[in-house]
Amino acid sequence: NAGVTQTPKFRVLKTGQSMTLLCAQDMNHEYMYWYRQDPGMGLRLIHYSVGEGTTAKGEVPDGYNVSRLKKQNFLLGLESAAPSQTSVYFCASKLTGITEAFFGQGTRLTVV
C-alpha cells in the first residue's frame, strides 16, 4: 500500500515546454486534488476531481489542465510552462466518508 505517489519528484523545464505530472493512489479514493505550494501563500487548489471522469477548477486553474480517466490516477498538465509556474505541486486524495485528505510527497518544478 503505497498511498499517494507523485511522479516525477523533481523537474526543470524551459519556458514554453509542456509536461504532465502523475498522481497515483492505491486507496480507492474517490476525491483527488492538485495543489501548488508557494512561499507565504500556503497551498492553493488548482483542480480537483470528485470521481473518475470528472474534473473541476479550483482557485488557480489558469495554465493547467487535468484528466481523471482512471479512478486511481489524476494527471496535471502544463501545456506551455511559464516561470510563474515554478512551485511545489502536491496531490492529495480522500475517501468518501472519511474527512481528511492524504498527500503525496510533492513535485518540485522549476521553469527557467
Partner 1 sequence: AQSVAQPEDQVNVAEGNPLTVKCTYSVSGNPYLFWYVQYPNRGLQFLLKYITGDNLVKGSYGFEAEFNKSQTSFHLKKPSALVSDSALYFCAVRDATSGTYKYIFGTGTRLKVLA
Site for partner 1, rule CB under 8 A: 4, 31, 33, 35, 40-45, 48, 50, 56, 58, 90, 92, 94, 99-106
Q: Which lies closer to partner 1 via its Cβ, residue 41 or residue 82?
A: 41
Task: Tell me phi and psi for residue 9, to 5 degrees.
Answer: -90, -30
Q: Which lies closer to partner 1 via its Cβ, residue 17 or residue 43?
A: 43
Task: Tell me phi and psi for residue 84, to 5 degrees.
Answer: -65, -10
Q: State the minimum distance, in angstroms, from the CB of residue 59 to partner 1.
A: 8
Q: State the minimum distance, in angstroms, from the CB of residue 88 to partner 1.
A: 9
Of 29, 11, 33, 30, the closest CA to residue 20 belongs to: 11
DSSP 8-state secondary structure symbol assigned to residue 70: S
Q: State the minimum distance, in angstroms, from the CB of residue 47 to partner 1.
A: 11
Q: State the minimum distance, in angstroms, from the CB of residue 52 to partner 1.
A: 16
Q: Which lies closer to partner 1 via its Cβ, residue 41 or residue 112?
A: 41
SS3 content of the chain, % helix, strand, coil (to 5): 5, 55, 45
Give the SS3 label for residue 11: strand
Q: Which lies closer to partner 1 via its Cβ, residue 17 or residue 72?
A: 72
**How far is Cα 23 from Cα 48, in angstroms, rounded to an integer?**
12
